[in-house]
Structure 1
Amino acid sequence: MTLSLDYAALSDVGRVRRNNEDSAYAGPHLLLLADGMGGAAAGEVASAAAVQVIRRLDKPGISGADMMEALAGAVHRANERLSELVEEDPEREGMGSTVTALLFDGQQLGLAHLGDSRAYRMRDGHLEQLSHDHTFVQSLVDEGRISKEEAFTHPHRNLILRVLDGRPDSDPDLEMLDVQAGDRLLLCSDGLPDYVSDQVIATSMSDGTPDSVVVDLITHALEANSNDNVTCIVADVVETAPASGDQPQLVGAAAELAQGGTGRTEPTIPVGVHGDGEGGGSGHFDPEELRYAPRPPKRFLWLRRLAALVVVLGLIVGGGWFAYSWTQNQYYVGTNGDYVAIFKGVDEQIPGLNLSNIYEMQTLQVDKLPTYSREQVEGTIQADNLSGARTIVTELQRTADACAAKKTTPRPTTTPKPSTPPASGKPVSTPAKPPTSTATVAPSSPASTPSGTSPDDCDGVR
């Protein structure tokens, strides 16, 4: 069995505010409400833009699991639209909008919700809230810190935590809901439930047509001295042809902007004109000022972003220059071809950037060093400074000189004196004389024998 919606929508600016920041849309397949916020940042622009984007879902053919995907995609597209509007006019920075939408396929409902506008369902005389408020006081209720009754009169009940605001983390709650003939649905902005109790709302919802109910609900809000815009959509789930027909209804800021004939989402009231009169006079307090973690409009947003980019680039360039300058004050000993050399910089490879160069070539050949010293030089020896690098070269030169001296110095030898036999044939005792060395041994000195060098240290010298 395919069901239909018999709907009515109505919006009132209220008795205090000068402009209507609520927008609503009701059609055969979609019920949608958006409550804009941002004060001088033009909340009416935000709500109207959200409705204009999401209302495109009001068409047949979207059903089942596709409803969730369609709702999420539409909300994200609306969020991108708000981001574009802020980019076009930085004065709108800080504006946002709630979104509460019911997508209907004739058999079930798909709910998308973000903010503190509400969705209700009246079934068999029982009123049930379908949406969950994204507000500060609701978080207190969820944590058990205050009761629902206390939340109704809490001084910060207007402070909202999540909205559609053009930022990337604006994800809605999504839920599939069952529906049956006889159900009555209500979507409303916070101007109603913040001033009218659920009991009064339930009483109004229990009788009358959708047209009479929306009038009754808004009347209750105005009589309760609601100082906010009040918008309601009431829809009956019916088996017969709906009395409202299939013509969509657009109310609130979205309707006012559409009647302007510009085809663009621009405010009909200049930004800032309503800033000093929204509260009904300079002596009145407007709770809308506390909506969504109040953030004043940011002027010259493009200039601030450019300045931030310049600062970031300056830090990157400055840091890079500092790092490069540091490398150019470092020294190490290495090889250049067959010779030892002192290098300035660091022995690191960065594509397109040379971090070291030869500072002093030495006459010391690498192959004149013993194996251990040669491997050290080929792997580079880091120095604390230029003086340290030169000291390292001096020590290497001493090691090479010591090995060269050891290699060219012959071993000492002795020549025995021939014995002459005695004439008498008797042995004659001849005192032994110390052998005479024919080798000349080079005197040892610190310059020719560096500390730590032993004969075994010179292996591998060529």
Structure 2
Amino acid sequence: MVFQGSSAAISHTGKVRSNNQDSGYSGSNLFAVADGMGGHAGGDVASSLAIMRLQAVDQPFASTSEAERALRDAISDSAAELIDTVAMRPELAGMGTTVSALVMVDDYAVIAHIGDSRIYLYRDDALTQITTDHTFVQRLVDSGRITPEEARFHPRRSVLMRVLGDMDPDPEVDTFIMPTQQGDRWLLCSDGLSGVVDDAHTAKALGAGLAPGRTADSLLKQALDAGAPDNVTLVLVDVGGQHPIFSGTPTIVGSASNPNGIVVPAARSGRGGWLHPNRQAANEPTHFEPEAQFLEELIEEDRRRARRRRAGWIVGLIVVLALIAAGLFGGYQWTQTRFFVGTDEDTVIIYRGIQQGIGPISLSSVYEDTGIPIADLPEFERSAVEATVSAQSLAEAEDIAARLRATVAVTK
């Protein structure tokens, strides 16, 4: 049956890019985001072609398995069309796109995903990332070499390991089926949103209870306020809920919304990109699918970075330990300039150091046994010596011992 819920789609060029290479689609049963790459115009074409092909899937399905096959076929057809387009227009070689799509079938969401656009589920006040990024950095996270927080700022965070492109007629696409329920909010977005707005702020916006359109506007504003260095596209889908039931024509946003259809640009002169002999120069591209040799270089570079990071920690630790050791040594040296008068239970002793210790470590040592018997001292002087008498210098300690000796001589 036709999906019962509400949805919204929005796309923005961002604050840095000169054109929008993203595309988004919100229909009756199909919802999708595609983030194009491959030069100033190639990304536009790639994401638009993918969305146009996927539109055929926007229909009710008798079963989830049928919808899953239809999604796979549509994405495979998109790959074939990208290859055919590049064959006709070699200057577009190297273009590609991510695809994150879901089809609602009764109480299930059928999901297809390739690339680093994302699908999130907001349920019971908790936000969960449903798809896994097909990126170099995500592999580092999965292998435990870096943390998810480090991945957010890793210099290679946009290097794609899998993408729908013009080189592979049989792309490896993740597809799976998940149960959904009343009150669920599904968010599909390009990395222009997920790369700058963290999960906590995304969850807060989704949990505010606003209609899909207003929620989408709020998330886009957060991305723009954070600088929006990339195109921002998002599709928000509510299952049931308090807002009006979705109806009307599909909403298409981004480059696929061109009212004249997909326009393959004329050939442009200029030197091709270094990853492909005929690739157009990109407007500071954020995505590319590395060749095997280049990927090995990236992995080795990351290993070097990890070694440098470990070396930095080790050097820092050594410096800290050296400073602590120097402080302890300096403190010990100072204690050895101090003296006090005490007892060894039989005679009066002049000690070098201070009375305190560090755990089992004593900070004093016997400097001189005066030979003055403790038993011969008057009670007051004996108590004072047993409690120890501090001296600022050796001369002062010797003066104290001399007075005690004189006191013993007087009492005899």
Q: TM-score, normalised by structure 1?
A: 0.57
- Once the 2 structures are TM-superposed, how far is the Cα of residue 246 of structure 1 from its aligned partner? 3.7
> Deviations for 1:222-279, whole angstroms, at most 9, x for unmatched residues?
11112110001011000688444242100000002xx12xx4x324698579x99xxx
- Once the 2 structures are TM-superposed, how far is the Cα of residue 294 of structure 1 from its aligned partner? 8.3
CA 1:138–1:15 in structure 2 vs 1: closer, same or farther (change >3 Å)? Answer: same
Alignment partner, residue 111 of structure 1: 111
The structure whose Rg is larger is 1
- Once the 2 structures are TM-superposed, how far is the Cα of residue 106 of structure 1 from its aligned partner? 2.4
C-alpha separation in 2, matches of 1:288 and 1:238:
38
- Once the 2 structures are TM-superposed, how far is the Cα of residue 88 of structure 1 from its aligned partner? 1.1
Alignment partner, residue 330 of structure 2: none
Alignment partner, residue 378 of structure 2: none
Alignment partner, residue 146 of structure 1: 146
Does the 8 Å contact 1:3/1:240 carry over to 2? Answer: no
CA 1:8–1:270 in structure 2 vs 1: closer, same or farther (change >3 Å)? Answer: farther
- Once the 2 structures are TM-superposed, how far is the Cα of residue 123 of structure 1 from its aligned partner? 0.3
Does the 8 Å contact 1:40/1:272 carry over to 2? Answer: no
Of 37-46 and 93-102, the range deviating more from structure 2: 37-46
Letter in 2 for 1:251: V
Does the 8 Å contact 1:39/1:289 carry over to 2? Answer: no
CA 1:242–1:84 in structure 2 vs 1: closer, same or farther (change >3 Å)? Answer: farther
C-alpha separation in 1, matches of 2:242 and 2:216:
21
C-alpha separation in 1, matches of 2:140 and 2:284:
19
Letter in 2 for 1:253: S
In the alignment, is residue 292 of structure 1 matched against residue 289 of structure 2? yes
- Once the 2 structures are TM-superposed, how far is the Cα of residue 11 of structure 1 from its aligned partner? 0.2
Letter in 1 for 2:263: E
Alignment partner, residue 238 of structure 1: 240
Does the 8 Å contact 1:41/1:91 carry over to 2? Answer: no
Give the SS at the match of 1:36.
strand
> Deviations for 1:196-234, whole angstroms, at most 9, x for unmatched residues?
111111111112110011111111111111211000101
Alignment partner, residue 355 of structure 2: none
Alignment partner, residue 23 of structure 1: 23
Alignment of 1:90-101 (within 5 A): 90-101=90-101
C-alpha separation in 1, matches of 2:12 and 2:234:
9
- Once the 2 structures are TM-superposed, how far is the Cα of residue 292 of structure 1 from its aligned partner? 2.5
- Once the 2 structures are TM-superposed, how far is the Cα of residue 159 of structure 1 from its aligned partner? 0.9
CA 1:16–1:168 in structure 2 vs 1: closer, same or farther (change >3 Å)? Answer: same
Alignment partner, residue 179 of structure 1: 180
Alignment partner, residue 65 of structure 2: 65
Does the 8 Å contact 2:83/2:169 carry over to 1? Answer: no
Structure 1: any 5+ residue segments left out of the alignment?
277-284, 296-462
Letter in 2 for 1:234: L
CA 1:98–1:30 in structure 2 vs 1: closer, same or farther (change >3 Å)? Answer: same
> Deviations for 1:145-171, whole angstroms, at most 9, x for unmatched residues?
000000011111111111101313412
> Deviations for 1:268-318, whole angstroms, at most 9, x for unmatched residues?
698579x99xxxxxxxx96525533389xxxxxxxxxxxxxxxxxxxxxxx
Structure 2: any 5+ residue segments left out of the alignment?
274-281, 293-412
Does the 8 Å contact 1:33/1:100 carry over to 2? Answer: yes
Alignment partner, residue 439 of structure 1: none
Letter in 2 for 1:63: S
Q: Percent of counterpart pairs with the same letter?
A: 39
Alignment partner, residue 135 of structure 1: 135
> Deviations for 1:86-132, whole angstroms, at most 9, x for unmatched residues?
11101111000000000111221110000000000100100011111
- Once the 2 structures are TM-superposed, how far is the Cα of residue 182 of structure 1 from its aligned partner? 0.1
Give the SS at the match of 1:292.
coil
CA 1:93–1:268 in structure 2 vs 1: closer, same or farther (change >3 Å)? Answer: closer
Alignment partner, residue 394 of structure 2: none
C-alpha separation in 2, matches of 1:247 and 1:134:
32
Give the SS at the match of 2:218.
helix
> Deviations for 1:31-77, whole angstroms, at most 9, x for unmatched residues?
01110001146110000000000111001134222122111111111
Letter in 2 for 1:97: T
Letter in 1 for 2:197: V
In the alignment, is residue 188 of structure 1 matched against residue 223 of structure 2? no
Does the 8 Å contact 1:8/1:244 carry over to 2? Answer: no
Give the SS at the match of 1:192.
helix
C-alpha separation in 2, matches of 1:272 and 1:214:
39
Does the 8 Å contact 2:2/2:60 carry over to 1? Answer: no
Give the SS at the match of 1:155.
coil
Give the SS at the match of 1:162.
coil
Alignment partner, residue 360 of structure 1: none
C-alpha separation in 1, matches of 2:242 and 2:214:
20
C-alpha separation in 1, matches of 2:151 and 2:65:
35
Give the SS at the match of 1:103.
strand
Of 120-129 and 67-76, the range deviating more from structure 2: 67-76
C-alpha separation in 1, matches of 2:178 and 2:108:
6
Alignment partner, residue 209 of structure 1: 211
In the alignment, is residue 79 of structure 1 matched against residue 79 of structure 2? yes
CA 1:226–1:33 in structure 2 vs 1: closer, same or farther (change >3 Å)? Answer: same
Provide the alpha-carbon RMSD of the alignment. Answer: 2.5
C-alpha separation in 2, matches of 1:193 and 1:97:
17
- Once the 2 structures are TM-superposed, how far is the Cα of residue 173 of structure 1 from its aligned partner? 0.2
Give the SS at the match of 2:224.
helix
Give the SS at the match of 1:35.
strand
Q: TM-score, normalised by structure 2?
A: 0.64
Does the 8 Å contact 1:71/1:112 carry over to 2? Answer: yes
C-alpha separation in 1, matches of 2:148 and 2:283:
23
Pick from 218, 222, 225 the counterpart of residue 223 of structure 1: 225
Does the 8 Å contact 2:38/2:288 carry over to 1? Answer: yes
Alignment partner, residue 320 of structure 2: none
CA 1:272–1:60 in structure 2 vs 1: closer, same or farther (change >3 Å)? Answer: farther
CA 1:175–1:87 in structure 2 vs 1: closer, same or farther (change >3 Å)? Answer: same
Alignment partner, residue 337 of structure 1: none
Alignment of 1:302-341 (within 5 A): none
C-alpha separation in 1, matches of 2:156 and 2:283:
12
CA 1:237–1:96 in structure 2 vs 1: closer, same or farther (change >3 Å)? Answer: same
Give the SS at the match of 1:215.
helix
